[in-house]
Amino acid sequence: MMAGLAATTLLWRGTVLDRVWTLNPTAYRQLSPFDSKVAILFLLLSAALVVSGIGWFRRRRWGWRLAVAIIAIQILGDIINLFRGDWLRGGIGVAIAWALLMYLLSSQI
């Protein structure tokens, strides 16, 4: 939902939805110069997450694999944030994504 919301607010500016960027003004400043290019990527991410969720809830192996791949990519992005010096966001992101990945890889799933 958040990736879709970010895409929407980057494509159609000046709506009431723009207020959501008050939660992360730094991200808005960094993303706003790229407008539609970044918005398209956010739409693709949103679609991938929806497809993964549908597949996973239908207990399809491809849905599980896609979810594992998306979380693994998230971990890589958070590690890059750590190397860039963003210790708080990178560290919290790695911890949460790692916990999700371990859950997905547990024998019960």
Query: How far apart are alpha carbons 15 and 8 in whole angstroms?
Result: 10
Query: Judging by beta carbons within 10 Å of its beta carbon (0-12, 13-18, 19+), is residue 14 exposed, middle or buried?
Result: exposed
Per-residue model confidence (pLDDT) at position 60: 95
pLDDT > 90? residue 34: no
**What are 62-80's pLDDT values in tens digits?**
999 999 999 999 999 999 9
Q: Are 51 and 64 in contact (CB under 8 A)?
A: no
Per-residue model confidence (pLDDT) at position 109: 73
**Phi/psi of residue 9, nearest 5 degrees:** -70, -25
**What are 40-51's pLDDT values in tens digits?**
999 999 999 999
Q: Are 39 and 11 in contact (CB under 8 A)?
A: yes
Cα 87 to the center of its chain, rounded Å: 18
pLDDT band at 21 (very low <50, low <70, confident <90, very high): confident
**Share of residues in the chain with pLDDT > 90 (%):** 56
Per-residue model confidence (pLDDT) at position 72: 96
pLDDT band at 12 (very low <50, low <70, confident <90, very high): confident
